[in-house]
Chain A
């Protein structure tokens, strides 16, 4: 839906706050919606099939279905929320595509599939697994390409249309343009940041929930709007750890006088990543993008998984915050190694385990003290 843009930043912020709004408008005009749950489902293939890919995000609503079927303290808030959104039939989805980008998402697929099987009268959308592996090996690569070709065929079956290579190429071009817009926004966070982390996440987030053409236009216009903002001289923070699709942590950190300039996370700095190649088979190009250039807790080996974080840590940050919530049982394995890396560089780091919405006083003091000790940057 291309809207008349009077205030592109406000429009993007509004889309971030109501991520389904644009999709629902499209659905009302007959465009089929396809729900996706992570960064590794090829947006380009869904769009090329004439459907609207929309990222299912967590919200603050109660999760009665998750409470009934999902074990407590095992699934992240985001996964529980997505489960409820699908099982409750909240959105008019033609299908849901879940990638194998985390074990929790694989379980989400199996659980949702079972609900669809056990309750056929509920009319829930079919659920598909995009079994993209993340270990870096020739076998995994060949397998990933095969399941990507299979995904294309599934999408054709879901949409009832066939995709020509030109359709996919056009979709890739549209998506790459949106990536360029994200990169323009990211430039405003680098060396001398001019936008806060909260604003950055709000402006980047709709990359996942609106058509890329619309996003591209809005984001470029927003860049022009905010480019003139004054430089932010606060200590620059990189956020690492469990993926977060809300502003809460950034909001807390910035309320203490920092600016979050980076996230090792697909909701922030790593949302767009590199362009998809426009050379050769477009399905294979899509696969290569999502296999080689998408953060995932399953990326293996560690050296590959850590490489982006290590490179970015060397590029103009004053501190790293590890967000390792109480229900984490994955990223905690990485923390000691990554902390050692930062220690060797002399970069201060801090672990936050509390829910950012409910940080209590002693923890707030600890965060404030850590921030107060961060090196200050001279104004340029």
Chain B
């Protein structure tokens, strides 16, 4: 594991661990409800209802980092599920099915009061129904209407013109589905949903993302990046899973301040930085050291991933007279914004240019075929913008077919042949 350079990184990691311990205590000792949800769900609703929400993808990353994925997938196979099924979103399910044969991270997930997912790909409704059955809990699905209007430069429109950008019919359906979810949350939490509480939280989320926006601008403007991509992810995601809460807003501010201080002091994450790299796709959770492997030899530093950049561009919503609708607009198009043409390719090129990127690695998540989307369009758009691209086929969470040295060699050749 590469060293942690920022105090805020250590604090983010510690806070996550403590948050999860507290969640376990609350569930086991006080019988309080909590939920497991997909990463693209409206966490804000859970926060205002006082129901902690564990992200399925965050938990998958933890299992993967502990190298437990192979054992978990063995369990799926013995139950008749074939190897070609998506790994990323099903790893926590596999861990549940494995039961005591796998020592789950941090003591494991207690039984949730509900699980919930947006019906994006065709697999997720299946994974969550099987999981709900295994956990003995209920599954609340949220329908995912498709986009038909996709105007250029969505990130210029999403903060103020979100109600037009994301199409009224899609927002109407999503809001209606949120009401169903709210009903379930009211039932399990025995609390009443208050729209003003959501509005306050949405304002806090805006503040949090504004801090991240400033942090991003410092990273763009600094001669050398003050923070590695991996530390960006730790800080940002710890806050995003709890977005709008006091801790998350304060943490975003601390992160911004620490970056600013480093830039003001001329501190670079990698003083020998010569090449700035971007990582397109989900993280390589079982081998995060990959990202720092090219610094000493080439001065090649991963500067950008979607995790920091998407906060300010994807989450900020101004005009909160109808906070539920604004929240719907935050989640309804994440898939198009991050993974599909034209929005993903346009945005990534814009980000590459703003971050002065020299080369990009586009991940094709082999073990999660439903998440493979738009990668050729992204690659072509980056190359057209004179940013060389290496595509990397790898499983996000399962290390069984990952040859770390071979991939590092391949990356080294890419740097030597196309970037140096």
Please give the residue numbers on chain A whose beta carbons come within 8 Å of chain B beta carbons, in ascending order.
Answer: 68-71, 73-74, 100, 102-104, 106-107, 109-111, 113-114, 117, 128-129, 131, 133, 135, 137, 139-140, 142-143, 146-147, 150, 297-298, 300-302, 324, 326-330, 332-337, 339, 353
* Closest chain A CB from B154 CB (angstroms): 14
Q: Are B86 and A70 in contact (CB under 8 A)?
A: no
Q: Are A139 and B340 in contact (CB under 8 A)?
A: no
Closest to B336 in A: A110
Q: Does B148 contact A (CB under 8 A)?
A: yes
* Majority secondary structure, B binding face: loop
Q: Tell me the bound Cα distance from A298 to B144 in angstroms.
A: 11
Q: Are A68 and B126 in contact (CB under 8 A)?
A: no
Taking A114-B341, A333-B81 as contacts, is the C-beta distance between A140 and B143 under 8 angstroms? yes
Q: Does B141 contact A (CB under 8 A)?
A: yes
For A146, what are the chain B residues with a Cβ–Cβ distance below 8 Å?
169
Closest to A301 in B: B129
Question: Which one of B116-124, B224-232, B267-275, B293-301 is at the interface?
Answer: B116-124
Q: Tell me the bound Cα distance from A74 to B376 in angstroms.
A: 12
For B176, what are the chain A residues with a Cβ–Cβ distance below 8 Å?
139, 142
B123-165 residues with Cβ-Cβ distance < 8 A to A are 123, 125-127, 129-130, 141, 143, 145-148, 150
Q: Are B342 and A139 in contact (CB under 8 A)?
A: no
Q: Which of B85, B129, B373 contacts A332 (CB 8 A)?
A: B85
For B79, what are the chain A residues with a Cβ–Cβ distance below 8 Å?
336
Q: Tell me the bound Cα distance from A326 to B361 in angstroms.
A: 27
Contact-size category for B: 35 or more
Q: Tell me the bound Cα distance from A328 to B121 in angstroms.
A: 13
Closest to A98 in B: B146
Question: Which one of B324-332, B364-372, B402-410 is at the interface?
Answer: B364-372
Q: Which of B130, B143, B370 contacts A137 (CB 8 A)?
A: B143
For A326, what are the chain B residues with a Cβ–Cβ distance below 8 Å?
84
Q: Tell me the bound Cα distance from A353 to B125 in angstroms.
A: 23
Q: Tell me the bound Cα distance from A100 to B176 in angstroms.
A: 19
Q: What string of 1s and 0s marks CB contacts (under 8 Å) between B95-130 and chain A?
A: 000000000000000000000000111110111011
Q: Does B180 contact A (CB under 8 A)?
A: yes
Q: Are A103 and B120 in contact (CB under 8 A)?
A: yes
Q: Tell me the bound Cα distance from A137 to B141 in angstroms.
A: 10
For B130, what are the chain A residues with a Cβ–Cβ distance below 8 Å?
333, 337
Closest to A132 in B: B146
Closest 9 CB pairs of A and B: A336-B80, A333-B126, A114-B341, A139-B176, A131-B146, A143-B173, A332-B82, A74-B372, A329-B369
10 other A-B residue contacts (CB within 8 Å) besides A131-B146, A135-B141, A332-B84: A71-B372, A104-B122, A117-B342, A128-B148, A139-B173, A147-B169, A300-B129, A300-B141, A302-B126, A332-B81
Q: Are B370 and A103 in contact (CB under 8 A)?
A: yes
Taking A135-B125, A300-B125 as contacts, is the C-beta distance between A113 and B80 under 8 angstroms? no
Q: Which of B148, B177, B336, B370 contacts A131 (CB 8 A)?
A: B148
Q: Does B377 contact A (CB under 8 A)?
A: yes
Q: Are A139 and B177 in contact (CB under 8 A)?
A: yes
* Closest chain B CB from A335 CB (angstroms): 6
* Closest chain B CB from A300 CB (angstroms): 5
For A110, what are the chain B residues with a Cβ–Cβ distance below 8 Å?
147, 150, 336, 340-341, 374
What are some 22 contacts across the A-B interface (CB < 8 A)? A69-B376, A69-B377, A74-B372, A74-B373, A100-B146, A103-B121, A103-B122, A110-B336, A110-B374, A128-B148, A131-B146, A133-B143, A135-B125, A135-B141, A137-B180, A139-B180, A143-B169, A143-B172, A330-B123, A333-B85, A333-B127, A336-B81
